[in-house]
Amino acid sequence: MSEASAFSPGYKGTHVPVVAAFGGGRLHECRMSGFYDLGRALTENAATLLRSVRRLDADQSLNQWDDLTFQFGPRSFLYADESRVIGYAETSQEAERLVAKFGASYSKPPAPKGGSFYLIRTGREISRELVQLGTETILGDEVFSLHYGQGSYEWHEDFIAKLRSSSHGLTIFEGSPGTGKTSYLRHLMGVLKDTHLFYFIPTATMSVLTNPDFIGFWAEQRRRFADRQFVVILEDSDAALMTRGADNRDQVSAILNLSDGMLADFLRLQIICTINCKASDIDQALLRPGRLLCHRIFHRLDYTQASRLAESLGRNLPAVQDYSLAEIFAEDESKTIRRPSIGFAA
């Protein structure tokens, strides 16, 4: 057993020093989540520091305190890391006092963040892994309109209202690669981060939709997050949405059941699918009014719109008919784009 694991939280439920101090006597614990300034806490309470963990990198790019354990009396301990504090004492009131005092003295506002999503993983069981996005993924109103063209922000506001008012339904985002479907989803996750949880199912694991354990997974998520609305992202889901055949019949049926009907009433999932094909190519049952919440086509930007966006980035674009967002943001458009220019000039 390493020295760190001998007193870090989770080792037989508590710290080794705490166990040694309390033995079989009265022990009460109080926990509080938040964000804490460990450096200042250490400086101002150095004489009471009992255990610590510090993280360093060889190149000195990382130098920070990770876990701190303070002993304020024979049976008065407090553990702190960057996101939680735990007090141990002979009475619940004293444990709560320790935590409240530390929180009042050393709390700090959380660092700004963008949205987030859970990556659905399969294996022995269905699990999830949190992916945090940066603040740059949330677009300002003006920047949003530059990215998606005239009238896009008004559509976005209407779509947000639908997601907030509908318990379940299906949305289809259609558009050729590079037109901004994924970028919009990242923005959406940031806008709705306080009310919605997003779950992303990679194309390679789309078969999870037909896994019998999938219903149990969602039921557990619903019990844990009863106050949140759920949005499931199926990116590049063309194959799963095409007119039913021997190779995708079960997946189409699963999406139908999850987005409408009695199962949808229980799970309350919003499903957003992105496709590169035409909506006319997908199974028509998915497009039924009442099930389909929104169908949005992400177009390439015409030259006028594209040049406005490029100018805001400090770039100039060759005068061609239209651009995808990916082409505008490419580092060297002139070398990657080979389309004829507008007009009669050679």
Q: What is the CATH number of the domain that holds 216?
A: 3.40.50.300
Does residue 12 register a pLDDT over 80? no
Q: Note whether 185 and 217 are same-domain residues.
A: yes
Tens-digit pLDDT profile for residues 162-189: 999 988 888 999 999 999 999 999 999 9
19-23, 34-38, 292-296: segment of lowest average pLDDT: 19-23
Cβ-based neighbours of 58, under 8 Å, separated by 6 or more: none
Asked if residue 230 is part of any domain, the answer here is: yes
Distance CA(143)–CA(36), nearest Å, equals 34
Percent of the chain residues past pLDDT 90, beyond the cut: 49
Q: Note whether 82 and 160 are same-domain residues.
A: no
Does residue 318 register a pLDDT over 80? yes
Does residue 333 register a pLDDT over 50? no
Does residue 194 register a pLDDT over 60? yes
Q: Note whether 289 and 312 are same-domain residues.
A: no
Q: Note whether 204 and 290 are same-domain residues.
A: yes
Q: How confident is the model at residue 331 (pLDDT cuts 50, 70, 90)?
A: low
Q: Indicate the average pLDDT of the chain.
A: 83
Percent of the chain residues past pLDDT 70, beyond the cut: 85
Decide: pTM greater than 0.75: no
For strands 127-132 and 116-121, give the pairing.
antiparallel
User: Backbone phi, then psi, for 311, in 5-degree steps?
Assistant: -60, -35
Over range 223-238, report the average pLDDT: 89
Look at residue 248 in the predicted model and tell me its pLDDT. 56
Q: Note whether 29 and 138 are same-domain residues.
A: no
Q: How confident is the model at residue 5 (pLDDT cuts 50, 70, 90)?
A: very low
Look at residue 15 in the predicted model and tell me its pLDDT. 63
Does residue 89 register a pLDDT over 90? yes
Look at residue 265 in the predicted model and tell me its pLDDT. 79
Q: Note whether 202 and 294 are same-domain residues.
A: yes
Domain termination residue (choose one: 106, 134, 155) = 106
Asked if residue 343 is part of any domain, the answer here is: no
Asked if residue 6 is part of any domain, the answer here is: no
Does residue 263 register a pLDDT over 90? no
Look at residue 286 in the predicted model and tell me its pLDDT. 74
Asked if residue 62 is part of any domain, the answer here is: yes
Distance CA(143)–CA(138), nearest Å, equals 10
Q: How confident is the model at residue 6 (pLDDT cuts 50, 70, 90)?
A: very low
Q: Which residues pair with 233 in a beta bridge?
A: 200, 272
Asked if residue 3 is part of any domain, the answer here is: no
Q: Note whether 315 and 285 are same-domain residues.
A: no
Domain termination residue (choose one: 87, 106, 125) = 106
Q: Note whether 147 and 261 are same-domain residues.
A: yes
| Region of residue 123 (phi > 0: left; psi between -120 and 50: alpha; otherwise: beta) | left
| Torsion sign over Cα 256, 262, 265, 268 | negative
Looking at the 3D structure of the chain, how many domains does it have? Answer: 3
Does residue 297 register a pLDDT over 70? yes
Domain termination residue (choose one: 40, 74, 106) = 106
Does residue 28 register a pLDDT over 80? yes
Over range 36-45, report the average pLDDT: 93
Look at residue 200 in the predicted model and tell me its pLDDT. 95
Over range 121-144, report the average pLDDT: 91
Q: Note whether 248 and 210 are same-domain residues.
A: yes
Distance CA(33)–CA(82), nearest Å, equals 9
Over range 215-224, report the average pLDDT: 90
Does residue 299 register a pLDDT over 90? yes
DSSP E strands, the chain: 28-33, 49-56, 63-73, 76-81, 84-89, 116-121, 127-132, 169-174, 196-201, 229-234, 269-275, 292-297, 301-302, 322-323
Per-residue DSSP letters for 90-108?
Answer: SSHHHHHHHHHHHHHHHB-
Q: What is the residue range of 323's domain? A: 302-336
Q: Note whether 206 and 325 are same-domain residues.
A: no
Does residue 7 register a pLDDT over 50? no
Q: How confident is the model at residue 246 (pLDDT cuts 50, 70, 90)?
A: low
47-61, 70-84, 135-149, 234-248: segment of lowest average pLDDT: 234-248
Does residue 334 register a pLDDT over 60? no
Q: Note whether 135 and 207 are same-domain residues.
A: yes
Asked if residue 80 is part of any domain, the answer here is: yes
Q: Note whether 205 and 236 are same-domain residues.
A: yes
Look at residue 179 in the predicted model and tell me its pLDDT. 94
User: Backbone phi, then psi, for 277, in 5-degree steps?
Assistant: -80, 180
Look at residue 244 in the predicted model and tell me its pLDDT. 55
* 292-297: strand order across its sheet: 127-132, 116-121, 196-201, 229-234, 269-275, 169-174, 292-297
- Among candidate residues 249, 262, 271, the one with its CA nearest the CA of residue 196: 271
Over range 157-166, report the average pLDDT: 94
